[in-house]
Amino acid sequence: MRYSKLPFCYHLREGDTYMHIPDGFLDTKTMIASATVSVAVIAINNRNIKRAFDEQPVPSMGMMTAFVFVAQMLNFPIAPGVSGHLLGSALVTALFGPAAGMTIMTAVVALQALLFHDGGIMALGANVLNMAVLGCWGAYAVQRILFGGKIRPVSLFASGWLSIVLTAFAASIELGVSATVPFNAVVWPMLLWHAIIGIVEGVITAVTVPFLAKVTALKPWGRQEVEGS
Amino acid sequence: MSKSKKLWPWLLVVLMLVLTPFASSFPDGLERVADDLGFTSLEKNAGVSLMPDYTIPVIEDGAASTIIAGIIGAIILLLIFWAVDKAVRIHKQNMR
């Protein structure tokens, strides 16, 4: 373990693991099953993505992809010895809708696995399923149901919180099915930590989306106005 | 779209990039649970990685290494969506 030479970065250590599900945590059947589901959903999704490309400028999707990628590098401490980082599924879903949101999250997660060793390459299917598929569609469900589909800070907060908790729950199921650890043992600590991370995610989502709607030409998905901000 | 309207998200991205060396190095949610339940050791190294853990092996200084790794990642994603944008434009022209 080596520490950075910069005086203010003493806590940065090399060999630090930023982590999605790495290789070795899941067994083969779980990896194949989750990869199959991910590929199937993305294949169906890509037929419906035309509306997103018609209504939203694609370069700004690239901009928000870079935004999410950099934001995921920023781990914040949530308790002594535990940290979390932004997921971003709810954020991009609120701006671009679930179809384009899934594409954005898949691009981020795939790049992290291929280049940065964050999340396993074999476990990529599971990570895409958790973060892109479930994260975006879970967030979209909340944003559509609350306030009759109007995007407000409260629904943004709720969708951000749910996307994190749903992702953690799915990861627990995958670990349980793989017989890595008993499901009953892993699910409660996972939900506890991620319920706390989800609060931060929810606040960031609820602040960022109205802010971006105000200072940029980006409009929330579905042409709904952001109210109460 | 006026220039200032494009500027804001980039300012946020640059701000976050500058902050990345200060990111918490505590284990994240999943890793902490893995530590507590004792299955961290199952993690396998899947061969070679170009920039493991958001560092560039050549650059000694941790902070600079992390920031440059972040810039490289962001540029790659921008290039991907730049290509998608080009493809969408060509498609729309052909549809006309």
Average of per-residue pLDDT across A41-68 = 86
pLDDT band (50, 70, 90) for residue A104: very high
The string over A66-82, giving b where at least 16 C-beta atoms fall within 10 Å of a residue's C-beta and e elsewhere, is bbbbbbbbbbbebeeeb
| Chain B contact for A28 (CB, 8 A cutoff) | no
Best CA proximity match to A30, nearest among A180, A160, A147: A180
- Residue B6: its chain A contacts at CB < 8 A? 216
Average of per-residue pLDDT across B28-32 = 82
Q: What is the CA radius of gyration of chain A?
A: 18
Alpha carbons within 13 A on the beta-carbon side of A149: 5
For residue A164, give the chain B residue with the closest CA: B29
- Residue A77: its chain B contacts at CB < 8 A? 24, 26
Take residue A53 and report the two structure tokens written for it.
Answer: 């490309």
Identity at A204, one-letter amino acid code: I
Rounded distance, CA A169 to CA A226, Å?
29
For A91-148, the DSSP string reads HHHHHHHHHHHHHHHHHHHHHHHHHS--S-STTHHHHIIIIIIIHHHHHHHHHHHGGG
C-beta separation of A34 from A174 below 8 A: yes
Give me the residue spans of the domains in chain A.
Answer: 21-223
- Tell me which residues of chain A, numbers 8 to 27, contact chain B at a CB-CB cutoff of 8 Å: 8-9, 11-25
Q: What is the CATH number of domain A21-223?
A: 1.10.1760.20
Instruction: State whether B28 and A83 contact (CB < 8 Å).
Output: yes
| Chain B contact for A126 (CB, 8 A cutoff) | no
pLDDT band (50, 70, 90) for residue A38: very high
Rounded distance, CA A89 to CA A132, Å?
7
Rounded distance, CA A160 to CA A154, Å?
10
C-beta separation of A163 from A139 below 8 A: yes
- Residue B50: its chain A contacts at CB < 8 A? 115-116
- Tell me which residues of chain A, numbers 127 to 166, contact chain B at a CB-CB cutoff of 8 Å: none
Looking at every residue in chain A, the average pLDDT score rounds to 82
| Chain B contact for A186 (CB, 8 A cutoff) | yes
Q: Rounded to the nearest 10 degrees, what angle do helices A89-115 and A135-145 cross at?
A: 180
Instruction: State whether A65 and B50 contact (CB < 8 Å).
Output: no
Question: What pLDDT is attached to residue A16?
Answer: 41
Looking at every residue in chain B, the average pLDDT score rounds to 80
Share of chain A above pLDDT 90, in %: 31
Question: What pLDDT is attached to residue B64?
Answer: 82
Chain B closest-CA separation from residue A17 CA (Å)? 6
To test the contact with chain B by mutation, choose from A8, A10, A13, A19 the residue with the greatest count of B C-beta atoms within 10 A, namely A19
Taking only the tens place, the pLDDT of each residue in A127-186 is 999 999 999 999 999 988 888 777 888 899 999 999 999 999 999 999 888 888 888 888
pLDDT over 70 (residue A10)? no
Question: What pLDDT is attached to residue A5?
Answer: 38
Instruction: State whether A217 and B1 contact (CB < 8 Å).
Output: yes
Question: What pLDDT is attached to residue A102?
Answer: 92
Identity at A149, one-letter amino acid code: G
Taking only the tens place, the pLDDT of each residue in B35-78 is 888 777 777 766 666 677 777 777 777 788 888 888 999 999 99
Question: What pLDDT is attached to residue B69?
Answer: 86
pLDDT over 70 (residue A198)? yes
ipTM, 2 decimals? 0.86
Give me the residue spans of the domains in chain B.
Answer: 3-95
pLDDT over 60 (residue A17)? no
